[in-house]
Structure 1
Amino acid sequence: MSLTPAFLDELRARTSLSALIGRTVKIQKAGREYKACCPFHNEKTPSFTINDEKGFYHCFGCGAHGDAIRWMTDQRGLPFMEAVKELAQTAGMEVPAPDPRAAQRAEQAKGLHDVMAAAQSFFEDQLGGIDGAEARAYLQRRGISDATRRTFGFGYSPDSRGKLKVALRDFGDPMLIEAGLLIDPDGAEPEDSQARKRDSYDRFRGRLMLPIRDIRGRVIAFGGRIIGQGEPKYLNSPDTPLFDKGRTLYNIDRASPASRQSGRIIVVEGYMDVIALAQAGFAEAVAPLGTALTEHQIERLWKMADVPILCFDGDSAGQKAVIRAATRALPLLRPGMSLAFATLPGGQDPDDLIRAQGTTAMESVLASAEPLVERLWKHEQGVAPLDTPEQRAALKQRLSAITDAIAHSDVRAHYVQAFRERYDALFFARRQSGFTPGPRHNPRGASGGWQRDRRGNWKPPLPPAGTEARAIGESGMEQRLLRAILASLLRHPEQIALHRETLSGLQIADSALAQLLDAMIAASFRKETVERQGLLTILGQGEVYNMAKGMLRADTFTFTPHRITADPDRVARDLDEAVRVMAQGPELEAALAQATRRFESEVSEENFAEQQRMRALKADHDRRLAELAQSEDII
């Protein structure tokens, strides 16, 4: 829909900005303007001003600035067109329709909104009447206050097939059916026109009713909880022209502005979880509507917070829902946008926890939320035993499937590295070299790590005293693979920083290759982005420079095809595998030697089993080393 500047200017002119902002923010007159404590950041002294004449607000503290439409999009979280429509409705203006069909759809939607508003009034009246006594008692048992009941619009649908139908008869059966309030047992017209058509009847019967609202706060559907015995326990409206359950989040109309105050959004399993949190002061909670979290809902959450917190029950069903959501998010991940996971104690929902231990306990659960990468790793690690090489290979395969599902190349590369570090830490003994699996190594002041010399250049750490791991590059296959890795890093210098920790721990037998690697790593510490020509400049003239130039010739070998058209994702994956295999060789040899000494000094079943395990790992490593070194992709 295209809106003219004249229409938008008229809309702004007809909107009282102070009245609009004053609905949710306490403002006070200050001369010809108004002032308030800024709703976009925490402050005690008002620095937020509103100028009705000029039609804008401005905060001198955080710089927030905008007009009425910007207020609705930034503070209320509405999409642009929804903001315009709501302001236009208040101002008594008609938003231009782009074509007759769109105008017809808008008119139809308006009629359905009227139906839903009337149904909401009916349900609220019934809750306060004689028929609603049992529902009111249920709310009292759940500890739902009268204020919360009014805020969320609780109602009751009588246990009758026709009370709602009679109350809203002026709208007509077709519109009530289209709104999802009545069930038509025949659906479309029966084929036999002479057949007797059965009467439609109320969809919701004998249920505690909750309105489901859109981002503008309009009722678009209902959720009903059975009172007493019956199935299903919860029943939602069907999809209608107003309601698509896969695109809607319960409580989004209140949680969206609340998330801008708290800086977070919390996703829980159901309506009552949202309501319990809101009553306890956590206004920024939403819930999906009886389905697994969808891609559209995840994108909607990211508009409110970069890292939404999923807080599902600690039982099996809750944790399965967590993994489904995590898996669905993988193709959507992009820099800065992810998910976090807070697990409730087993058998408890938010209401149980808050009742038992208070809001502090709930805040503690949210504060300890795990990143997506950690939750996925723990899940895959616990799926099956990891006692045999085959089971460990299966874990590696599952982790690869996760990373393959991530569309964004940079995010995928970091997940590959994170999983590799955890995998190696779990199965392979790490040398005490000052580098350990985990967050990116920071050389500044790190004991045993890279240090600056007096000229300010980065220098590698000295190998630890007493290390048993031999230097790399002594055998033909290792020499070939090492040269291929270095050649690929020269061609793709952006990969150096990603492998810096592992590469820094290598001991290399060939002094020229060792100098080349040291220069690469030192350059990656100096600059965030390393360029190929910059590397050559650092090397200067001499043996190492000539070797590097030779590696860059079109006819030299490298890991993965070195053509310009080579897939960068494939380069990253193959380099990751090659570096990992290269680093593991000396470590496995040292671990095998240690296991052999233990067995020779104390012959026992346990020591023998450990020695055999290390031999199997070493044999598997040697096989993979040979495959990589003899691969046709090393050319």
Structure 2
Amino acid sequence: FDTPERRAALERRIAEVTATIGDEAVRRYYRQDLEARLQRLLAPPPAPDRGRGFDRDFSRRGTNRRSGSRPWQSGFREISGPRSPRLATSPIVRGFRTGLPPREALILLAVINHPWLLEAHAEELAELELRHPDADRLRRAMLDIIGAAVHDTDTMRAALAALDLGGVLARVEKAITHGSDWPARSGAAPEDVASFWTHVLTLHRRTRTLHKELKSAEQALGSEPNEENFLRLQDVQERLATIEGTEALIEGFGAYSGRPARSL
């Protein structure tokens, strides 16, 4: 990063990554902290102390006076300066709690509107790792009412309302806004629902794994802001981006419900 072009490219890459942080306050704080570290990294080295001990200290840093090299010219290896305790404990590093994740809401709404999924896939539903506490509460309640003659949507909703989960159910429904989420709603053919269920659970498991990798990458970058950790974070974000919005990419999907069939 010894040219203006390379430094500008690094700044753009940092801006691209921080722009993906959803919370505005966290995004602003995270960007300010990284920009401050970048300035320290690219700042000219202090004038050498020509007094006693200079040669020993200078050589220990691996810099040769005659070569004219500078520590920051070897690349984005390590940003100098103390680690920021505020960054290490920021919500983005600790795991910022967001609203109900759309895919978790999608899975639960599919069970509510297609109660036969509860009987056929109870074990899968029980083993799912759900991030949001409300989603977990609703899932546990569904599993508790298995065998209680819940065979249709109205009966399922009434049973959940009796458990004081009407508000949670309303939040689940509000989280589903995209037109491609129709298999989770009433009226979809069982064959399409079954294909949708298998696909969306696979995506959910893959996404949860990547979110764990993302959290680890964010923590690593917060503790050690270097190029290796930056590229690791960027890679995980790109893999997450390829998963989003692919719920309905199934061969022949929609044909049983009278919709135009899709294919991969």
Same-fold status (TM-score > 0.5)? no
* Greater relative CO (CA pairs within 8 A, separation 6+): 2
TM-score, normalised to structure 1's length? Answer: 0.19
Higher strand share: 1
- Higher helix share goes to which structure? 2
Q: What TM-score does the superposition give when structure 2 sets the normalisation length?
A: 0.41
Q: Larger radius of gyration, structure 1 or 2?
A: 1
